[in-house]
């Protein structure tokens, strides 16, 4: 894209305010301004308040172990097993495979001098992940279950190690104010829950409070960068300031932090959530992070007698419905939509892929009702002091709907058609992507993210159109890639309203992402009410076209045993077989070529392929093989193609 056109789209789609704030941040970074400021002032002493009193008065309290065990008896073994790993200084980064807890990064210069262009193969998120202290929540759970003092002692050993290895403003762990804010919340939670332990001496609590004070002092310096991003950075940093503000409310600086956090938190909620509840980052994982952060802030605000503004509550209630409508109610999982960096603010009540603990909590807070009957997903609510299901908090009728989630089906099999009018920066070029689920298994997959900074061929290539379950024209993305996290010339979608009145199991949408080629892509998702799905793709010329173009339809399936017969791919699952067949319906179509690509290798068919096809990333930093079933063809538009999914249950 030429510079003049890129500048036009930057101003049009990002806005002058965001560009100006980002420019100020870059100028301050390059000029050495942040380094010249020096260390923040030390925390003023208040001899009238002991360190233990700050945590005891915060509002998060140690639960009764009997109540916890009675509520979640089936979870005790899993909780203790996870805590034992942490005692061995091992955890699950990004909710994935076990790795070592490393809190001492090798770089020690001022955070502003650390390059934002890492060396090939390096990823700063691997430094940040253990320093988010998400592993303290399993330690706190294990301590609450058992009362064993080895768990708080391990927290204090690792916290002291972090504070020693990461002096204020030095090293990668200070480079992002969002990471700083996440630690503030984790440190505060640990200080409250582990307060009763003999290991939590006044000296150690004082050290932790000093660290929280230093962390909070770091956030306002770059708040204008978070405002420029206008995403989870601003929201989480505001929550960190609120948390520190409550801990140090007796100090004038603490009151300023609280006021600053309150202002920008609610500004973020009202600007970043659409009226239909869609979060600006277009990601199920970031949507959950937003709701987890909001639940934390809401409970803190209640304790301070600071009611949420009505506008914030309205936006959050719609956001709860959006996420609840996305999940598979049999497994608690959700489509791997948009960027997934493994963020999970408070892993309490389920594994990383289970969205029910968060939905249960925020449904009770912002809808006044439980989303599910009692279960292990109640634990997150339990720790935050939110009442469980009762006559005053009845369960919602599932499945929950949202006007912004285009979903058909039943609890056994369901599908969604992605059709967005972007009001912020799109994460992936994935308009009209279809996810299909069957018996709790995702059989038509979104590829996920893998890494933001991986070397080719995985340099954020899983964000492109060709790896999603949609139609690709002339091997072009639906939008123009203009940076690692930046798509310009946004493809906008709309629901097509001219379906027959007697078609309750159909939804259709179209997008303008191929306007530059002179085409509109329209897709219809149809369900027969049982075990058959049909997806009909139409390419509609906007002007008269006489030439042939190249087209491709991809379906990404899980890596199960498979057979290819003509233009049909069949996979065998434990409970049955799923088959997808792609055939032309209308139009002048030639050179139909089926392909199967697994883990970047062509395993059936012929023609060109990409090494990043045939992969799925369940969480950040992890890749798993998948089956990319592609039908490539030449056609002279208009053209119509049908993909029929047939689900065959095993005989009972």
Residues 6+ apart with CB under 8 A from 301: 242, 262, 307, 308
Distances (CA, A) of 579 to 27, 29, 47, 565: 55, 54, 71, 10
> Which tens digit of pLDDT belongs to each residue from 528-567?
999 999 999 999 999 887 789 999 999 999 999 999 999 9
Whole-model pTM: value is: 0.95
DSSP 621: T
**Is a pLDDT exceeding 70 seen at residue 259?**
yes
- Domains, the chain, in order of start with CATH, read 51-218 (1.50.10.100), 451-649 (2.70.98.70)
Nearest residue to 382 (alpha-carbon basis) of 54, 66, 67, 51: 67
- State the residue for tokens 């608690």: 332
> Which tens digit of pLDDT belongs to each residue from 136-188?
999 999 998 889 999 999 999 999 999 999 999 999 999 999 999 999 999 99
471-473 vs 519-527, strand pairing mode? unpaired
- Stretch 364-393: mean pLDDT: 82
- Stretch 422-444: mean pLDDT: 96
- State the residue for tokens 């003049």: 4
Residues 6+ apart with CB under 8 A from 85: 91, 92, 98
Nearest residue to 55 (alpha-carbon basis) of 207, 264, 234: 207
**Is a pLDDT exceeding 50 seen at residue 392?**
no
> Which tens digit of pLDDT belongs to each residue from 103-140?
999 877 999 998 766 676 689 999 999 999 999 999 99
Nearest-angstrom CA–CA distance, 240 and 214: 12
- State the residue for tokens 């064993």: 148
C-alpha torsion angle, residues 281, 425, 322, 461 (rounded to 10): -70
Nearest-angstrom CA–CA distance, 227 and 265: 11
Task: At 591, list the tokens.
Answer: 């050179």
Q: Give the three-class secondary structure for 593.
A: strand
DSSP 114: S
Nearest-angstrom CA–CA distance, 227 and 229: 5
Cβ atoms 571, 627 nearer than 8 A: yes
pLDDT-derived band at 391, boundaries 50, 70, 90: very low
3-state secondary structure 386-432: CCCCECCECECCCCCCCCCCEEEECCCEEEEECCCCCCCCCCCCCCC
> Which tens digit of pLDDT belongs to each residue from 35-67?
998 888 889 988 899 999 999 988 887 777 666
Nearest-angstrom CA–CA distance, 129 and 472: 35
Residue 24 CB coordination number (10 Å): 14
Residues 6+ apart with CB under 8 A from 91: 85, 98, 99, 101, 130, 134, 135
**Is a pLDDT exceeding 80 seen at residue 501?**
no
Task: At 367, list the tokens.
Answer: 């809808």
Cβ atoms 565, 583 nearer than 8 A: no
Nearest residue to 248 (alpha-carbon basis) of 49, 466, 107: 49
- Stretch 378-386: mean pLDDT: 89
pLDDT-derived band at 451, boundaries 50, 70, 90: very high
**Is a pLDDT exceeding 90 seen at residue 368?**
yes
What's the mean per-residue pLDDT of the chain? 92
């Amino acid at each position: 894209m030429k510079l003049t056109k890129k500048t036009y789209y930057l101003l049009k789609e990002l806005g002058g305010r965001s560009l100006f704030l980002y420019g100020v941040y870059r100028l301050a970074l390059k000029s050495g301004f942040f380094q010249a400021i020096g260390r923040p002032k030390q925390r003023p002493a208040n001899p009238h308040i002991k360190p233990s009193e700050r945590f005891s008065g915060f509002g998060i309290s140690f639960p009764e172990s009997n109540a916890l065990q009675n509520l979640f008896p089936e979870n005790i073994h899993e909780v203790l097993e996870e805590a034992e790993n942490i005692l061995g200084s091992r955890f699950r980064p990004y909710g994935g495979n076990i790795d070592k807890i490393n809190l001492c990064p090798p770089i020690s210069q001022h955070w502003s001098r650390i390059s934002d262009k890492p060396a090939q193969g390096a990823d700063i998120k691997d430094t940040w992940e253990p320093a988010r202290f998400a592993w303290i929540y399993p330690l706190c759970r294990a301590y609450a279950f058992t009362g064993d003092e080895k768990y708080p002692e391990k927290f204090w050993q690792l916290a002291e190690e972090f504070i020693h290895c990461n002096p204020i403003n030095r090293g990668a762990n200070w480079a992002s104010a969002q990471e700083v804010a996440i630690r503030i919340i984790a440190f505060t939670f640990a200080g409250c829950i582990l307060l009763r332990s003999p290991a939590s001496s006044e000296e150690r609590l004082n050290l932790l409070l000093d660290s929280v004070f230093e962390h909070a002092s770091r956030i306002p310096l770059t708040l204008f960068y978070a405002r420029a991003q206008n995403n989870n950075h601003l929201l989480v940093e505001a929550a960190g300031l609120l948390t520190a503000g409550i801990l140090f409310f007796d100090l004038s600086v603490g009151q300023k932090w609280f006021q600053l956090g309150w202002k920008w938190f609610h500004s973020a909620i009202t600007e970043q959530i659409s009226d239909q509840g869609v979060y600006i980052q277009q990601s199920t994982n970031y949507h959950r992070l937003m709701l987890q952060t909001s639940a934390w802030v809401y409970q803190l605000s209640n304790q301070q007698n600071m009611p949420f503004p009505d506008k914030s509550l309205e936006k959050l209630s719609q956001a709860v419905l959006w996420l609840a409508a996305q999940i598979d109610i049999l497994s608690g999982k959700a489509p791997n939509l948009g960027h997934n960096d493994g963020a999970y603010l408070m892993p309490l009540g389920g594994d990383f892929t289970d969205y029910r603990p968060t939905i249960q909590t925020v449904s009770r807070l912002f809808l006044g009702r439980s989303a599910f009957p009692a279960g292990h997903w109640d634990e997150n609510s339990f720790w935050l002091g939110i009442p469980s299901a009762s006559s005053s908090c009845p369960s919602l009728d599932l499945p929950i709907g949202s006007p912004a989630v285009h979903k058909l089906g039943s609890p056994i099999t369901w599908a969604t058609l992605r059709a967005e009018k972007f009001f912020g920066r799109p994460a992936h070029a994935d308009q009209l992507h279809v996810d299909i689920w069957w018996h709790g298994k995702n059989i038509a997959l979104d590829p996920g993210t893998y890494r933001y900074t991986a070397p080719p061929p995985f340099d954020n290539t899983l964000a492109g159109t060709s790896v999603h379950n949609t139609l690709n024209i002339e091997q072009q993305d639906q939008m123009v890639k203009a940076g690692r996290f930046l798509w310009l010339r946004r493809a906008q979608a709309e629901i097509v309203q001219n379906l027959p009145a007697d078609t309750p199991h159909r939804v259709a949408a179209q997008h303008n992402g191929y306007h530059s080629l002179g085409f509109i892509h329209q897709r219809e998702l149809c369900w027969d009410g049982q075990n058959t799905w049909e997806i009909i793709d139409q390419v509609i010329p906007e002007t008269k076209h006489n030439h042939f173009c190249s087209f491709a339809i991809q379906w990404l399936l899980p890596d199960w045993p498979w057979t290819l017969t003509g233009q049909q791919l069949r996979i065998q699952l434990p409970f049955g077989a799923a088959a997808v067949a792609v055939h032309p319906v209308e139009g002048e179509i030639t050179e139909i070529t089926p392909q199967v690509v697994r883990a970047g290798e062509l395993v059936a068919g012929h023609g060109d392929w990409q090494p990043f096809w045939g992969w799925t990333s369940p969480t950040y930093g992890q890749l798993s093989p998948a089956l990319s079933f592609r039908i490539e063809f030449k056609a002279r538009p208009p053209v119509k193609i049908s993909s029929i999914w047939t689900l065959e249950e095993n005989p009972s």
